Amino acid sequence: MTPSLATAPATARHPSPAIFGAVPASSAGRAAPASPFAPWGDEASAYSRDQVIFSEGDPASSVRIVTSGMVRILRMMADGRRQIVGFLQPGDMLGLALGGTYLYSAEAVTPVTLRRLSRTQFDTLLERDPELRLRLLAATATELQVAQEQMLLLGRKTAPERLASFLLRQARRVTPEPQDHCRIPLPMTRTDIADFLGLTMETVSRAFTKLKTTRLIRLLPDQMVELVDVEALIDLSEGGGRSGLVQ
């Protein structure tokens, strides 16, 4: 997949960078801080929940910045199955393609607002802002690490390990060093999470139940999750045995 700068949350213990401003404390449904992008983009465009922003194969004529809400990016298989490859939040960029068409589709998870730059405008912005070029390079390197971590997650980790890794990634979008009892928003559906983790929805539900019954997490109203024991979640995500969870 071509860089979208924050297509997935953090690898290991490092947060994924938001190129155009920091991610707010609770990003889903909230506006991002003012960014250097703002003077260049068109007026904000709004998308409703589950609305398609662009589809795989569409002409890649512009680059977009998430200013509020959450976006999922995905690829469709020939048999109709989908693989979600990332969730984007305020400050993240989508639509940067090396070729003439988008290699993935983008849809709104929540109500979303975006700003848009044409490719010409974006190239001009990079030429005029050396710091932005460096941030883009750093984000691309981070995305490579994200992709490597995702390969490990999909290829070797058990369902509880995958879910623990996912929850920690989301937590690190809120704060670089999550602490016990931190609360994170999960506005995506269980089906979305399953399609990101390469699992069935039923398996994801069982994994949530395991983490809940072992008191690693607590499920809260309004699509919030409390990470009760962060160190145990880290141990589980890295294949350790302190949590006592098995497949």
Residue 67 shares a structural domain with residue 131: yes
> Which pLDDT value is given to residue 93?
86
Of 132, 156, 180, the last residue of a domain is 156
Quote the CA–CA distance of 76 and 80 in Å, as a whole number: 6
**Residue 133 within a domain:** yes
φ and ψ of 230, to 5 deg? -65, -40
Q: Which residues fall within 8 angstroms of residue 100, CB to CB, at 6 or more apart? A: 59, 60
pLDDT value, residue 129: 84
Closest CA to 234 of 175, 159, 178: 178
| Residue 209: CATH number of its domain | 1.10.10.10
- What's the average pLDDT block by block, 10 residues per block, for the chain (247 residues)? 38 44 40 49 85 94 91 92 91 83 94 90 85 78 68 78 94 92 97 95 97 97 97 90 55
Write down the pLDDT at residue 106.
96
DSSP code, position 58: S
Residues 190 and 204 grouped into a single domain: yes
Tell me which residue range forms the domain holding 181: 157-237
User: Are both 165 and 207 inside the same structural domain?
Assistant: yes
Q: How many domains does the chain have?
A: 2
**Residue 42: per-residue pLDDT:** 59
CATH number of the domain residue 48 falls in: 2.60.120.10
Is 242 inside any structural domain?
Answer: no
Query: What DSSP character marks residue 5?
Result: B
Residue 29 contacts residue 110 (beta carbons within 8 Å): yes
Residue 137: the pLDDT is: 78
Q: pLDDT per residue over 144-200, tens digit each?
A: 666 667 766 676 789 999 999 999 999 998 998 999 999 999 999 999 999 999 999
> Which CB contacts under 8 angstroms, 24+ apart, belong to 80-85?
82/195, 83/195, 83/196, 83/198, 84/192, 84/195, 84/196, 85/1, 85/7, 85/8, 85/150, 85/196
pTM: 0.79
* 109 lies in the same domain as 203: no
Verify that 149 and 229 share a domain, yes or no. no
Q: Are residues 23 and 105 in the same domain?
A: yes
Instruction: Give per-residue pLDDT as tens, 180-196.
Output: 999 999 999 999 999 99
